[in-house]
């Protein structure tokens, strides 16, 4: 049985009720850093505009996002390296390290290994390696570790 029409109807019914952004399953602000919200103008939207944007986003993810998976322009943007810094004091990694970044993202060490350092807000680059897996590089030392995004 094809459940897509049923899901589409339920999504439309859910989204057609009067609600605010907090009632919707997706809130764009949950997926953006404060820098991104500011640079895109999302932080300046009224509550009504934010609700409408989140309603559109929820509908798009539920019904159409899968259509972009094979789009080369979309995959190119998704694989761009990220330049940011680790928030606060950084002492290296120990096999299970969580990296909280200034851009609002959180990454977790996915490969074993230990490295010790003592830095404050070190610059890092996140990039895909040859196996299409993410690596975090501490710029100053060129130290790399495999990571996966958790937020």
Convert the pLDDT of each residue in 37-71 to its tens digit: 888 999 999 999 999 999 998 888 888 888 887 78
Helix (H, G, I), strand (E, B) or coil at 148: strand
Category of 88 on φ-ψ map: left (φ > 0), alpha (ψ -120 to 50) or beta: left
Instruction: Tell me whether residue 74 is in a domain.
Output: no
DSSP, res 101? B
Q: How confident is the model at residue 10 (pLDDT cuts 50, 70, 90)?
A: very low
Using alpha carbons, select from 44, 47, 42, 41 the residue that is nearest to residue 18.
47
pLDDT at 16 over 60: no
- Domain with 93, as residue range(s), is 79-149
Same domain, 20 and 52: yes
pLDDT at 4 over 80: no
Same domain, 61 and 97: no
Convert the pLDDT of each residue in 89-145 to its tens digit: 999 999 999 999 999 899 999 999 999 999 999 999 999 888 889 999 999 999 999
Of the chain, the end-to-end C-alpha distance in Å amounts to 34
Instruction: Tell me whether residue 52 is in a domain.
Output: yes
Task: Look at the chain and report how many structural domains it folds into.
Answer: 2
Residue that wins the pLDDT comparison between 29 and 79: 29
Please tell me the pTM assigned to this model.
0.60
Same domain, 63 and 83: no
Residue with tokens 């680059």: 125
Alpha-carbon span 103 to 79, nearest angstrom: 16
């Amino acid at each position: 049985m094809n459940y897509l029409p049923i899901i589409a109807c339920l999504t439309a019914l859910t989204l057609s009720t009067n609600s605010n952004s907090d009632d919707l399953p997706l809130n764009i602000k949950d997926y953006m850093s404060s820098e991104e919200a500011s640079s895109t103008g999302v932080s300046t939207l009224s509550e009504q505009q934010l609700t409408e944007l989140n309603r559109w986003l929820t509908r798009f993810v539920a019904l159409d996002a899968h259509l972009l998976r094979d789009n080369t322009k979309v995959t190119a943007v998704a694989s761009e390296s990220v330049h940011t810094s680790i928030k606060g004091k950084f002492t290296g990694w120990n096999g299970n390290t969580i990296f909280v970044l200034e851009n609002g993202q959180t990454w977790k060490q996915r490969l074993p290994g230990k490295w010790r350092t003592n830095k404050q807000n070190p610059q890092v680059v996140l990039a895909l390696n040859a196996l299409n897996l993410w690596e975090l590089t501490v710029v100053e030392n060129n130290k790399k570790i495999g990571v996966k995004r958790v937020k």
